[in-house]
């Protein structure tokens, strides 16, 4: 296993879209409805949506095992030294191989001098919540966020401080 990272460009939008569709359909059917998966993928991962996110300073990074793309994350600096991890996804067939921990070390190196890293995670996404606990995050609060289309994201807001 040879894990590497590459900053995504607009030329990678279709790859991000493809990875998102593969990973979400592997991971989310036990957590949210198929209709909500389709709606959220369309809202967050259409090529136009990804481009808009990139233009709004969401920095996407692709995760590779050798030459195979296995995941991605997107992070932005909301204010000096305060970051938000918008997305963090790894192909579920690659879980429990250390890829997530390696990616998180990369995230921390990308956020040098951070005072806080925040994220939202579905409260029923137990594997992800536990992973974030292992990375030093704590739950700040739980909240239902309106996502539109009649859907809510019943999430934990988690934070990590140095």
- CATH code of the region 3-160: 3.40.630.30
3-class SS shares of the chain: helix, strand, coil, % to 5: 40, 40, 20
Strand pairing report for 59-65 and 3-7: antiparallel
Question: pTM of the prediction?
Answer: 0.94
pLDDT tens sequence across 37-77: 999 999 999 999 999 999 999 999 999 999 999 999 999 99
Give the model confidence (pLDDT) of 88-146 as tens digits: 999 999 998 999 999 999 999 999 899 999 999 999 999 999 999 999 999 999 999 89
Closest alpha carbon to 58 in 67, 49, 66? 49
Query: Beta-carbon neighbour count of residue 151 at 10 Å?
Result: 15
pLDDT at 1 over 80: no
**Cα angle 153-117-150, degrees, rounded to a multiple of 5:** 10
Structural Rg of the chain based on CA atoms:
15
């Amino acid at each position: 296993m040879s894990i590497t990272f590459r900053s995504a460009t607009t030329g990678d939008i279709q790859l991000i879209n493809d990875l998102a569709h593969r990973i979400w359909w592997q991971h989310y059917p036990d957590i949210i409805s198929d209709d909500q998966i389709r709606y959220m993928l369309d809202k967050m991962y259409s090529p136009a949506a990804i481009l808009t996110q990139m233009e709004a300073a969401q920095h996407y990074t692709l995760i590779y095992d050798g030459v195979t793309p296995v995941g991605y994350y997107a992070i932005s600096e909301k204010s000096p030294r305060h970051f938000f991890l918008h997305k963090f996804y790894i192909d579920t067939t690659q879980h429990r191989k250390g890829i997530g921990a390696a990616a998180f070390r990369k995230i921390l190196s990308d956020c040098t001098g951070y005072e806080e890293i925040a994220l939202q995670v579905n409260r029923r996404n137990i594997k992800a919540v536990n992973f974030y606990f292992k990375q030093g995050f704590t739950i700040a609060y739980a909240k239902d966020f309106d996502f539109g289309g009649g859907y809510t994201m019943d999430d934990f807001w988690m934070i990590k401080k140095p």
